[in-house]
Amino acid sequence: MKITTVYDNTVYVEGLKSEWGFSCAIDVSGENILFDTGGDGSILLYNMEKLGIDPGNFGRIVLSHEHWDHAGGLFDVLETNHDAEVYLLASFSESFKNRIKNPVIEIHEPSKICDLVYTTGELGISIKEQSLILETMNGLVVITGCAHPGLKAITNSASQFGEIYGIIGGFHGFDDYPLLKGVPFLSPCHCTQHLREIASRFPEAYQKNGVGKVFTFE
């Protein structure tokens, strides 16, 4: 299993472009999944090209929530990919849904997307969001967009599928640090307000993220 950050606020590999937002490409057992699409499609596609990632190869695109910095690049990807299924929350606006010509799957509850891949389902009150859950040999790896519903709600939902091994993505204003105790792998990025604090509190678990960063799991 390989996870490649293709859009983020910071660059990990020289020559790529950064911008506020998040997206990662996931290769799991031959399935190519794009989680979120950043805010600027031209930057997303530029980074993909430099990283050797073909946007036409994604069979599934999962959007965490409707904010522009996570969903803004979608339509640039769909210009070259007319077949990918788009997984979005049922609460997305009708105007957004109606712009999508590809097959759309509306998410309500925690569910399986494909082999080794699950969604937390729609979480949150004021801002609805879903996170992605990947099943690895070491345990579950949770990928968040912004974690608006809070990491506690996200990890509670994910835990029904197994034990959590790692968390990647935006942590927003999270500061309930005891919740992360015992989690072996942490790679906060994008909107994480207390990134330095997390890195200093969990030096053995923390992994720096950024555009071009590649994570591999068995």
Per-residue pLDDT of the chain (218 residues; tens, 9 = 90+): 999 999 999 999 999 999 999 999 999 988 999 999 999 999 999 999 999 999 999 999 999 999 999 999 999 999 999 999 999 999 999 999 999 999 999 999 999 999 999 999 999 999 999 999 999 999 999 999 999 999 999 999 999 999 999 999 999 999 999 999 999 999 999 999 999 999 999 999 999 999 999 999 99
Identify the structural domains of the chain with CATH numbers, from first to last: 2-216 (3.60.15.10)
Task: Look up residue 212 and give its DSSP letter.
Answer: T
The total of other beta-carbon atoms located within 10 Å of residue 197's CB is 14
Helix (H) or strand (E) holding 97, with range, is helix 94-99
**Please, which residues bridge with residue 76 across strands?**
none
**Please, which residues bridge with residue 35 across strands?**
24, 62
Residue 157 in contact with residue 147, Cβ under 8 Å?
no
Residue 135: strand, helix, or coil = strand
Answering whether pTM is above 0.85, one says yes
